[in-house]
Structure formats: C-alpha cells, structure tokens
C-alpha cells in the first residue's frame, strides 16, 4: 500500500466526497449534541468526522480562492454582478421586500388570531421595512443612480420619515420585552445559528453602508441604512433570545429587563438620529437643487 498516496487521498478527497461529508457531518454532529451524551461512542465518532471534514475543507481553501477568482473574472454573469451596483441593490431590495412583506402578513395574522399587540407591533415593524424598500425598488429598476437626483432625495427623505414610524413599532416591541417579559426562546443550536446570521448581517450592513457612499446615490444610501437598522433590531432580538435560552439563573429578571431596556433605548436613539439625518440632509439638498434649477431658469429667460 502506498502510504503517500493514501495520505493524499485522505487529505485531498474528491470534491464530490467533500460535498457529501459537509451535510452528513453537520447533521451527525447536531444530532449527537442534542440527543446523545458527550461520552457515547457515537458522539465521539461524530466529533472526529466533523473535525476531519473541517480539516479537508481548510486544505481546499487555496483552491477555492483560485476557483472563485477565476470564475469572477471569466464568467460574464459574475462580472456583471460585480460591476453593476444597480443590479445588486435592485435584486437585494426585491428579495428583502418579498421577505418583509410575507413576514409582516404572517405576524399580522398572528395578531388577529391571538388578539395580541405584540404581534401587531412586529407586523408594523416589518410593514415599515417593506414600504421603504418598495419606494426604493420602484426607483432603482427604472433609473440609474444620479439620473434623477431630486426624486432620489425625495425617496431618501421619505424613508427617514418612515423610520420614525418604524421606531414607534420598535419602541412598542421593547416595551413588551421589558414590561411584559415577551422574549424569544429557541433551542441552543438554533440560537447559535441565529447569532452567526445576525452578526454576519450586521457586518455586511456596516460594510455596505460605507461601501455604497462612493456612488453618491441617496437611494443606495437609504437601502443600506435600512439594512443597518434592521440588523441592529435583529441584535436586540438575538440578545433577548440568548438571555432566555442560555439563562442559567445568574441574572435575575430585573437585570435582564434593565439590559434589554438599555439596549433597546440605544438602538431606538440610533434609528431616530439616522431618520433625522436623512430628513434634514434630504431637505437641504432638495432646496439646493431647487435653487440651482431656479437660477438656470432665470438665466434662460434673460
């Protein structure tokens, strides 16, 4: 037996084998963590399989980097996605609009079914997000950034106003969390997955808010501002979930309420400041554009 060849086969298996290993090891590991003890033979096998899967995928990272770099440079659809921010923003808005609308309808239905203002507040929050994204996607699918600057600024300012309405729904959610102890409870694995998704969304929202400033498009800025506000609210939901799911009795209910109240207050102030900035800047820039238009009309008449 060729030991060198065997070692290469184990450390660099075929991509099909790696793709099969990924879901199998993940499901096996989750099953062991949830239903089996840490000292059982099956659990130990699942840990070894998960470690092996992680190792072979790590060895594959340089190849994956080269593959995606080549794909990004040579595939015409990938090049268009990379070079067309309008396409990226529009598709992102369509996807999040569909999600926000569906989830808002679901929460609204729960509100009517349970006669609960808690679900109504969640529905109002997601309806506000959907309305803002609807205003923006109507513009991005028809015009390139900067083509209709005045219309962009009007939508930008309008989103700031809707942010204030959304903040009322968010404040109601915080009130229910703090005063009535309405929190979320999920399984530990689900909570960890939520944490990974939430931190990822927040990171991408911050990067997007900074990255898209260079396009000088109020619509793009508003789109990324919406994502940033939604990610901040998701952080509060995650905080509530983690306090409930991983609470071991070391923090009493009063301390949890204080923590949630302070976090909710900080996020609420952030949303208000962002809304105020959008309204003030939008109004100021609209007045400047209007002044320039009036000056141009005056020169033409002369």
In the prediction, which pLDDT does 266 show?
Answer: 92
**Residue 277: pLDDT above 90?**
yes
Per-residue pLDDT tens digits for 185-206: 666 776 777 777 788 888 888 8
* The predicted structure's pLDDT at residue 249: 61
- Asked if residue 236 lies in contact with residue 260, where contact means CB atoms within 8 angstroms, the answer is yes
pLDDT digits (tens, 9 = 90+) for 132-151: 899 888 888 888 777 788 88
Averaged pLDDT score across all residues of the chain: 81
Q: What is the pLDDT of residue 294?
A: 63
Q: Check if the beta carbon of residue 194 is closer than 8 Å to that of residue 241.
A: yes
234 CB contacts (<8 Å, ≥6 apart)? 198, 201, 202
What pLDDT, on the 0 to 100 scale, is given for residue 276? 93
pLDDT surpassing 60 at residue 302: no
Most confidently modeled range among 112-116, 209-213, 243-247, 269-273: 269-273
Q: Tell me: pLDDT of 301 over 80.
A: no
Q: What is the pLDDT of residue 69?
A: 78
Give the per-residue pLDDT at 280. 93
Token digits for 97? 């609009």
Reported pTM = 0.73
Quick one: pLDDT at residue 14? 79
* pLDDT reported for residue 275: 92
CB 130 within 8 A of CB 101: yes
Mean pLDDT lowest among 19-28, 104-113, 285-294:
285-294
Q: Which has the closest alpha carbon to 28: 16, 14, 15, 42?
A: 42
**CA–CA separation, 47 vs 29, rounded Å?**
6
Mean pLDDT of 30-44: 74
pLDDT of residue 299 exceeding 60? no
Looking at residue 293, its pLDDT comes to 67
CB contact at 8 A, 274 and 209:
no
> What pLDDT was estimated at residue 157?
92
pLDDT of res. 252: 74
36-45, 82-91, 129-138, 143-152: which range is least confident on average? 36-45
Asked if the model's pLDDT at residue 278 lies above 70, the reply is yes
pLDDT attached to residue 4? 73
Q: Sign of dihedral through CA atoms 230, 234, 235, 237?
A: positive
pLDDT tens for 280-292 read 999 998 888 888 7
**Pick from 230-244, 268-282, 285-299: least confident:** 285-299
Please give the C-alpha separations between residue 187 and each of 35, 40, 94, 107, 197, in angstroms, as whole numbers: 12, 22, 31, 21, 15
For residue 246, give the H/E element and its range: none
């Amino acid at each position: 037996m060729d030991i060198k060849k065997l070692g290469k086969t184990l450390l660099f298996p075929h991509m099909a084998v790696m793709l099969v290993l990924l879901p199998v090891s993940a499901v096996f590991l989750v099953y062991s963590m949830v239903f089996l003890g840490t000292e059982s033979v099956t659990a130990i096998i699942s840990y070894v399989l998960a470690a092996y899967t992680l190792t072979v995928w790590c060895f594959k990272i340089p190849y994956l980097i080269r593959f995606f770099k080549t794909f990004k440079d040579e595939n015409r659809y990938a090049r268009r996605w990379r070079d067309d921010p309008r396409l990226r923003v529009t598709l992102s808005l369509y996807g999040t609009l569909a999600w926000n609308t569906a989830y808002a309808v679901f929460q609204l239905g729960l509100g009517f079914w349970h006669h609960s203002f808690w679900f109504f507040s969640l529905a109002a929050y997601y309806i506000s997000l959907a309305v803002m994204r609807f205003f923006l996607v109507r513009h991005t699918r028809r015009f390139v950034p900067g083509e209709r600057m005045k219309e962009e600024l009007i939508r930008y300012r309008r989103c700031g106003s809707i942010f204030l309405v959304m903040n009322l729904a968010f404040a109601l959610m915080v009130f229910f969390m703090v005063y009535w102890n309405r929190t979320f409870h999920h399984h530990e694995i689900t909570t960890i997955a939520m944490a990974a998704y939430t931190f990822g969304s927040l990171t991408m929202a911050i990067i997007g808010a900074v990255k898209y400033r260079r396009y000088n498009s109020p619509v793009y800025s508003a789109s990324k501002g919406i994502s940033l506000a939604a990610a901040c609210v998701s952080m509060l939901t995650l905080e509530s979930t983690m306090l409930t799911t991983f609470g071991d009795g070391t923090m009493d209910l009063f301390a949890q309420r204080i923590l949630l109240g302070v976090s909710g207050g900080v996020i609420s102030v952030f949303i208000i400041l962002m809304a105020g900035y959008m309204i003030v800047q939008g109004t100021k820039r609209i007045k400047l554009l209007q002044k320039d238009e009036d000056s141009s009309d005056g020169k033409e008449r002369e």
